[in-house]
Chain A
């Protein structure tokens, strides 16, 4: 039996598809052929590592994937145990990763899923403000300048000293900008998700 045939049979053996009569000849070849033994050993190591890989990914998957799939809200609420789960404001139930939860909060891309309440409440923001990152950053800067101007205007109206903090220091009225900036930036990046 050639090395090519042997390795083909090794592949079948690993998949439990090699009939017993062939196994005798296979192992006889393996005893005397270093190259085929290397192949066999490699594939066994691969299989073993793949099993570990599988287990690790499945654990991560539990943490990442929504507890319930793209189901209508009514079905999730009535489904197997779903009614005991806290409802996310987006209409989704169950555990979600921090990243995904924050996506919901700031608005991910509207897609076909939104018809079933998927991230629906953020749809307005996401749908109306979907833009490439450079445009988003530009808009953020415009808002920053506008916020600063408004702040200066408020300061002037308030008597030039500006609003005072508890400790008596002047608090720059940039709160409007601070709120707007992350929203626009995240929306910009959401277009790549």
Chain B
């Protein structure tokens, strides 16, 4: 199997088939990332298409093909943040749904299903700067170094942010988890 670096290099030199393979390889991961960032399936789908459109257009700017993954996630992250800024203009923050706590408090049922539902809600409640690093770490399995590249910060800042994100998540999940231990 050709490596990302190999494909990205070929794509940069004009090989559209390499682009098609990269799309197939990354579309799901980027969709997961966008969905977790935005909590909107349609928007996540559009972001994936938009990201690959930009990837195609900006291929000549891909200076380090071996860092394709960071590069493509950085583009996705920027698109998501831009989408969230636009959404915030349309929907005042005080109208944002606040269901995680109430749902969590009344949670019962099959444990795994409930855990899944609870973590989805809790994650959606997190501040965006926490959510993005946690999603990149827990869902995408990216290293601190890659997350630092994507979020344009340092590894130690990523480490600290992931910890703070987990603490915030724990505070949200604690009542529900404690009730079902």
Contact of A141 with B by CB under 8 A: no
Tell whether, in the assembled complex, residue B32 and residue A54 are in contact, meaning their CB atoms are under 8 Å apart.
yes
CA distance A85 to B46 in the complex (A): 22
With a cutoff of 8 Å between Cβ atoms, the chain A residues found around residue B118 in the complex are 49
Q: Mark A149-191, 1 if CB is under 8 A from B, else 0.
A: 0000000000000000000000000000000000000000000
Checking A49, A50, A78, A112 against B112 with a beta-carbon cut-off of 8 angstroms, the contacting residue is A49
Tell whether, in the assembled complex, residue A17 and residue B144 are in contact, meaning their CB atoms are under 8 Å apart.
yes
Checking B27, B119, B162 against A65 with a beta-carbon cut-off of 8 angstroms, the contacting residue is B27
Residue of A nearest to B165 (CB): A11
Given known contacts A8-B163, A71-B19, A49 and B42 CB-to-CB distance under 8 angstroms: no
With a cutoff of 8 Å between Cβ atoms, the chain B residues found around residue A42 in the complex are 169-170, 173-174, 177
Name which of B20, B42, B162 has the most chain A CB atoms within 10 A of its CB: B20
Q: Mark B107-127, 1 if CB is under 8 A from A, else 0.
A: 000001001101110100000
Given known contacts A38-B178, A39-B170, A46 and B20 CB-to-CB distance under 8 angstroms: no
CA distance A166 to B178 in the complex (A): 69
Checking A58, A60, A69, A80 against B17 with a beta-carbon cut-off of 8 angstroms, the contacting residue is A80
Q: Which residues of chain A from 35 to 54 have a CB within 8 Å of any chain B CB?
A: 38-39, 41-43, 45-50, 52-54
Given known contacts A42-B170, A45-B115, A47-B138, A112 and B53 CB-to-CB distance under 8 angstroms: yes
Give, as a whole number of angstroms, the nearest-CB distance from A174 to chain B.
Answer: 33
Q: Which residues of chain B from 134 to 181 have a CB within 8 Å of any chain A CB?
A: 137-139, 144, 159, 162-163, 166-167, 169-170, 173-174, 177-178, 181
Interface size on B, residues (CB 8 A): 43
Give, as a whole number of angstroms, the nearest-CB distance from A81 to chain B.
Answer: 9
Tell whether, in the assembled complex, residue A48 and residue B115 are in contact, meaning their CB atoms are under 8 Å apart.
yes
With a cutoff of 8 Å between Cβ atoms, the chain B residues found around residue A24 in the complex are none
CA distance A12 to B144 in the complex (A): 10
Contact of B6 with A by CB under 8 A: no
CA distance A39 to B120 in the complex (A): 18
Contact of A66 with B by CB under 8 A: yes
Tell whether, in the assembled complex, residue A64 and residue B178 are in contact, meaning their CB atoms are under 8 Å apart.
no
CA distance A72 to B166 in the complex (A): 43
Given known contacts A61-B27, A65-B27, A82 and B20 CB-to-CB distance under 8 angstroms: yes
CA distance A176 to B146 in the complex (A): 58
Tell whether, in the assembled complex, residue A7 and residue B53 are in contact, meaning their CB atoms are under 8 Å apart.
no
- Say what secondary structure dominates the interface of chain A: helix
Given known contacts A53-B119, A62-B28, A68 and B162 CB-to-CB distance under 8 angstroms: no
Given known contacts A42-B173, A58-B32, A61-B32, A52 and B178 CB-to-CB distance under 8 angstroms: no
With a cutoff of 8 Å between Cβ atoms, the chain A residues found around residue B122 in the complex are 46
Tell whether, in the assembled complex, residue B27 and residue A75 are in contact, meaning their CB atoms are under 8 Å apart.
no
With a cutoff of 8 Å between Cβ atoms, the chain B residues found around residue A1 in the complex are none
With a cutoff of 8 Å between Cβ atoms, the chain A residues found around residue B41 in the complex are 60, 64
A residues sitting closer than 8 Å to B (CB atoms) are 7-8, 11-12, 14-15, 17, 38-39, 41-43, 45-50, 52-54, 56-58, 60-62, 64-66, 68-72, 75-76, 78-80, 82, 100, 112-113, 193
Question: With contacts A39-B167, A42-B177, A50-B138 known, what are 11 further pairs, Cβ within 8 A?
Answer: A41-B177, A43-B169, A45-B119, A49-B119, A53-B139, A56-B116, A58-B32, A61-B32, A65-B27, A69-B49, A79-B17
CB-defined A-B contacts under 8 Å, sample of 7? A42-B169, A46-B138, A53-B116, A57-B28, A58-B31, A65-B28, A82-B20
